[in-house]
Amino acid sequence: MTKHTIIVPDIGGSDAAEVVEVLVAVGDEVAEDQGLVVLESDKASMEIPSDVSGTVVELLVAEGDALAEGATLAIVETTAADQLGQDTASAEVVPDSTVEATGSGVGDAPEVTEVPLTESANTGSAELVVAVPDIGTDEAVDLIELEIELGQTVTEGDTLVVLESDKASMDVPAPQAGVIREIFVSAGQQVKEGDSLVRLEVPTRAVSKPSDDKDAALSTVAQEIAADPASAQVGSSEPTPFHIEPKNQTAIPVNPPQQSSDDGAEDGSESYAGPAVRKLAREFGVPLAAVRGTGPRGRVLKEDLHRYVQDVMESGSSRGSGPVLPEFPSIDFSQFGPVDVVDRSRLDKLTATNMQRSWLSVPHVTQFDDADISDLENFRKSLKGEADRRGTKLTPLPFLLKAAAVALKSNPKINSSLSDGGDTLTFKNYVHIGMAVDTPAGLVVPVIRDVDQKSVWDIAAEVLELAEKARDRKLRPAEMQGAGFTLSSLGAIGGRGFTPIVNTPEVAILGIGRADIRPVWDGDAFAPRKLLPLALSYDHRVVNGGDAGRFLTELCGILGDMRRAIL
């Protein structure tokens, strides 16, 4: 049996083409020239056939992927009988010694998947294909930087590519030292978990025998899933941080033209369009049947959908109810003086989209209070020596996290989320708190899990570790998932107060300002007290003023006397 890697052929000068349909599944028998996937570039749709007949044993792409020429599509296994008369020259032959293994994690970097592994007895070297590791989502993410070139020698841990989702940037490191023999991707394209990145030639001794490693690899995967079930819960109702297309995005008030009843396809089920276009149409709320397809055989293309939405937007609100937001005029600022125009990172743009979505769809209320942290500050400073000995740093933040966890336990609504389109409320029996971190790449929110069960020292160590990982772009997707509440501290940077935007699907967020000594009337005289300004923004669909007031009062009480945290 021989395995053939099917790759994307010349796609007519386009940089990338989108997979709009996958025509086969793993296990399918395919004939030579049988279509495997349909690609759609900006110029054309094309069906990519199998070079050989055999069994599909691996599918390396999914609908919505953007592929460049040379990208790996699938692996087809042929028998000797299959091969008779077949021209194998166009397919890349991979011997049968394949294994799917979870690579050795490099420091805190994501664990890298290596597929198929081949060994060459003649050269004393082996080749492995490094694939996109577990990124915590089925969605595609951007490949923003290619850090290697063909023929380059890399050492274990060297960054191969940098991926960027809506929540973070992530380096994919080389799982072993070796030489880059093939690059399957280019900067600017989108990739998903399992997509091949590079083919790496490594010394044979660095490669363990597939048969020995298979069980170990499987058990590593099993352990990972056991250790972090959240990361395995793809498809759970909570959007993951890597969910790039916002699920509950602010509805564009599209009011499509009336359907003619004779087409019998109001839901678009009889329209000719690929799944990616259908998905986009669903997200826009556009009935496909209303869109005129300009692709081959009337196929509805993405551009047709965009044109339709644009037409509806331009025709204004006259066709239906619901406001249409007026567009901002585009201004040429250079008319007023010299300017520099720079591209925004995808993370910045997606953060902007998420902020706007939350701002427009969540009725926000922000409630303010000051916590008297004079005693807490004395206590914290008295622990400085111990913090140094422990090699950690004790800022007010770990105390705030601990106090918030205690207050969340007794005010569970603040740690809930709307579910079933608003019909139900999901209370979380865990206390995971997100912590906004300001990084050069943008705003990221790593999550500290089970804060209620951790000591302030443990929390302090985790704050340091996660903030450092965030700044070094080493956070794993699982470390940014599952928060029920968020803390955003600008105390060290400045500003007395601000009104944070709720990080949906959470229902509340605490903004922390700079603590200052201020005069406080104690009944007889003004006394100097250290006050910490707090601002609790909440989703008024779920949290009422009373809920928020009780939470803030309890929080301030705990911060005023941390002994309350153990009551």
Query: Which are the catalytic amino acids?
Result: 540
Going by DSSP bridges, is the β-strand pair 178-183/364-372 parallel, antiparallel, or unpaired?
A: unpaired
Q: Which is nearer to ligand CAO, 271 or 486 (CB)?
A: 486
**In sequence order, which residues have a C-beta less than 8 Å from that of residue 218 and are 6 or more positions away?**
none
Q: How far is the CB of 154 from ligand CAO (least distance, A)?
A: 31
- Alpha-carbon distance of 353 to 359, in angstroms, equals 10
Decide: helix, strand or coil at residue 51: coil
Q: How far is the CB of 467 from ligand CAO (least distance, A)?
A: 4
Q: Which is nearer to ligand CAO, 117 or 394 (CB)?
A: 394
| Residues at the interface with ligand CAO (CB under 6 A) | 395-397, 435-438, 443, 463, 467, 488-493, 500, 512, 514-515, 532
SS3 content of the chain, % helix, strand, coil (to 5): 30, 25, 45
Q: Which is nearer to ligand CAO, 208 or 439 (CB)?
A: 439
- Alpha-carbon distance of 208 to 230, in angstroms, equals 30
Decide: helix, strand or coil at residue 527: strand
Q: How far is the CB of 515 from ligand CAO (least distance, A)?
A: 4
Q: How far is the CB of 502 from ligand CAO (least distance, A)?
A: 11
Strand partners, 528: 519
Q: Is the dihedral of CA 447, 451, 453, 457 positive or negative?
A: positive
Helix (H) and strand (E) counts in the chain:
11, 30
Q: How far is the CB of 384 from ligand CAO (least distance, A)?
A: 8
Q: How far is the CB of 8 from ligand CAO (least distance, A)?
A: 40
- Alpha-carbon distance of 419 to 416, in angstroms, equals 9
Q: How far is the CB of 516 from ligand CAO (least distance, A)?
A: 8
Q: How many CB atoms lie within 10 A of CB 455?
A: 10
Q: Structure tokens of 535? A: 């601002």
Q: Which is nearer to ligand CAO, 127 or 372 (CB)?
A: 372
Q: Which is nearer to ligand CAO, 128 or 512 (CB)?
A: 512
Q: Are 324 and 317 in contact (CB under 8 A)?
A: yes
Distance of CA 375 to the CA centre of its chain: 40
- Residue nearest to ligand CAO according to CB distances in the complex: 491
Q: Which is nearer to ligand CAO, 280 or 507 (CB)?
A: 507
Q: Which is nearer to ligand CAO, 352 or 492 (CB)?
A: 492
Q: Is the dihedral of CA 480, 486, 490, 492 positive or negative?
A: negative
- Alpha-carbon distance of 252 to 236, in angstroms, equals 25
Q: Is the dihedral of CA 479, 481, 482, 484 positive or negative?
A: positive
As a three-state string, the secondary structure of 370-430 is: EEECHHHHHHHHHCHHHHHHHCCCCCHHHHHHHHHHHHHHHCHHHHEEEEHHHCEEEECCC
Q: Are 73 and 65 in contact (CB under 8 A)?
A: no
Q: Which is nearer to ligand CAO, 300 or 405 (CB)?
A: 405
Q: Which is nearer to ligand CAO, 244 or 400 (CB)?
A: 400
* Helical H segments across 193-233, by residue range: 210-227, 229-232
Q: Are 171 and 473 in contact (CB under 8 A)?
A: yes
Helix 545-560 × helix 374-382 angle, to 10°: 50
Q: Residue 65: which of 47, 46, 39, 27 has the closest Cα?
A: 39
Q: Structure tokens of 26? A: 């793993």
For residue 84, report the phi and psi dihedrals to the nearest 5 degrees: -55, 125
Q: How far is the CB of 107 from ligand CAO (least distance, A)?
A: 20
Terminal C-alpha separation, the chain: 67
Q: Which is nearer to ligand CAO, 312 or 490 (CB)?
A: 490
Q: How far is the CB of 105 from ligand CAO (least distance, A)?
A: 24
Residue 217 DSSP code: H
Q: How far is the CB of 538 from ligand CAO (least distance, A)?
A: 16
- Alpha-carbon distance of 343 to 350, in angstroms, equals 13
